[in-house]
């Protein structure tokens, strides 16, 4: 083989390696996972795991009891120093324009480019118009609440909420919550693929409940979900969420390793 031919083969190989790396799914963390820790301790664990992107979903930052500007600035400074990007901010339900003002302000203070939450009726139009003007996106989050009916329990519920909306509006697909509602998370990815802004990666023990288990050990078809995300060419954040009390360090290390193998 000539030097020129070798160089061409080597260049082709490197191009394939770069393409494969570029096509890997982006694994991050939904920070509710570490809700029992301080921000400092959470950042230490994220750094140890090599996590570079997160969604801020801790309870003290949600709109039910809004955080202060200083809380957001302080968290952002700690993330920046650690090389962690907060790409999405989970608000919970946006009920009115006051909530919407908070969502935009806190999201921007955290450095987020996406807001995750839910709303109904004319608030969806207002969110669409406001976030379009702010250069942000919005993902409708599906949920399961035992004994209660939630507006977004199925992929079709989410699609109805998005009907007539701009590209600003999309879906924040939670695999575990869909499984809890008796839905197939893989089919949910297929249906919502054109609208995906975020994916929350979570596994559930059984339908009709919300007991979290390690990824791949429940009914949420996590391996198939990851394969489907590849098929639909999803390029957003896949944020692992693990809703369990107590020390979760060992479990999260296993979850991150499992997700990265499938990424």
174-213 pLDDT, tens digit per residue, is: 999 999 999 999 999 999 999 999 999 999 999 999 999 9
CATH topology of domain 25-262: TIM Barrel (3.20.20)
160 pLDDT exceeds 70?
Answer: yes
Region 108-124: mean pLDDT is 98
| C-alpha distance from residue 68 to each of 91, 109, 113, 118, 228 (Å) | 14, 10, 19, 21, 39
Whole-number Å distance between alpha carbons of 125 and 260: 37
SS3 content of the chain, % helix, strand, coil (to 5): 50, 20, 35
Region 217-229: mean pLDDT is 98
17 pLDDT exceeds 50?
Answer: no
19-39 pLDDT, tens digit per residue, is: 444 589 999 999 999 999 999
18 pLDDT exceeds 90?
Answer: no
153 pLDDT exceeds 90?
Answer: yes
Determine the pLDDT at residue 2: 59
**pLDDT band at residue 131, thresholds of 50, 70 and 90?**
very high
């Amino acid at each position: 083989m000539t030097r020129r031919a070798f160089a061409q083969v080597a260049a082709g190989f490197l191009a394939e390696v770069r393409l494969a790396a570029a096509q890997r799914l982006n694994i991050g963390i939904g920070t509710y996972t570490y809700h029992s820790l301080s921000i400092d301790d959470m950042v230490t664990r994220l750094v140890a795991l090599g996590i570079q992107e997160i969604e801020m979903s801790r309870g003290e930052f949600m709109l039910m009891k809004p955080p202060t500007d200083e809380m957001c600035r302080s968290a952002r400074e700690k993330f920046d120093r650690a090389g962690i990007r907060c790409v999405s901010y989970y608000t919970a339900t946006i009920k009115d324009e006051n909530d919407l003002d908070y969502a935009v302000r806190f999201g921007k203070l955290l450095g987020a480019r996406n807001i995750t939450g839910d709303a109904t009726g004319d608030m969806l139009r207002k969110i669409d118009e406001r976030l379009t003007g702010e250069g942000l996106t919005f993902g409708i989050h599906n949920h399961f609440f035992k004994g209660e009916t939630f507006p977004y329990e199925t992929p079709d519920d989410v699609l109805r909420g998005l009907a007539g909306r701009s590209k600003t509006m999309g879906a924040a697909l939670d695999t575990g919550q869909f499984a809890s509602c008796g839905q197939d998370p893989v089919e949910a990815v297929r249906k919502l693929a054109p609208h995906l802004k975020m994916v929350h990666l979570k596994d559930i023990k059984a339908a009709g409940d919300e007991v979290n288990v390690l990824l791949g050990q429940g009914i949420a078809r996590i391996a198939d979900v990851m394969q489907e995300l590849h098929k639909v060419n999803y390029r957003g954040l896949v944020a692992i969420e693990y809703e369990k009390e107590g020390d979760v360090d060992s479990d999260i290390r296993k979850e991150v390793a499992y997700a990265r193998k499938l990424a």
